[in-house]
Amino acid sequence: MRKNDKRTTNVALKHFLSIIISSLLIALPLISGAADGKTEYSAGDLTQGQENIVRRARQVLEIEWTAQENIVAWEGYSEFKAGETYQGIPYGMPNNAKNYVPYGTSFDVFLEAVSDTESLMYTSFSTRTSIAPYYSLDCSAFISWVWNLEELHKTWDLVLVASRVYSLDNIEVGDVLNKSADHVVLIYSVEYDDTGNIARVGIAESAPPIAKLTFYGQGEKLPLSMINDIYIDDDYIILRYAERDSVEYVHNCLIPIDNDFCSLCIIQNTVGVSKLLDALTSRQEKMQIK
* Residue with the larger pLDDT of the pair 286 and 107: 107
Distance CA 33, CA 31 (A): 5
Whether the model clears a pTM of 0.85, i.e. scores above it, the answer is no
Backbone angles phi, psi at 101, to 5 degrees: -105, 125
Cβ neighbours of residue 108 closer than 8 Å, sequence gap 6 or more: 252, 254
Q: What is the mean pLDDT of the chain?
A: 84
**pLDDT tens sequence across 233-257:** 999 999 999 999 999 999 998 888 8
Whether the per-residue pLDDT at 180 is higher than 80: the answer is yes
- pLDDT exceeds cutoff 70 at 151: yes
pLDDT at 2: 54
Give the integer Cα–Cα distance in Å for 102 and 108.
Answer: 9
Instruction: Quote the pLDDT of residue 269.
Output: 57
Instruction: Give domain limits for the chain.
Output: 48-246, 260-290
- Please check the confidence at residue 27 and state whether its pLDDT lies above 80: no
Using pLDDT thresholds of 50, 70 and 90, give the confidence band for residue 131: confident
pLDDT at 43: 44
- 3-class SS letters over 161-230: HEEEECCHHHCCCCCEEEECCCEEEEEEEEEECCCCCEEEEEEEECCCCECEEEEEECCCCCCCHHHHHH
CA separation for the pair 211, 192 (Å, rounded): 25
Instruction: Give the tens place of pLDDT for each residue, 30-40.
Output: 444 433 333 34
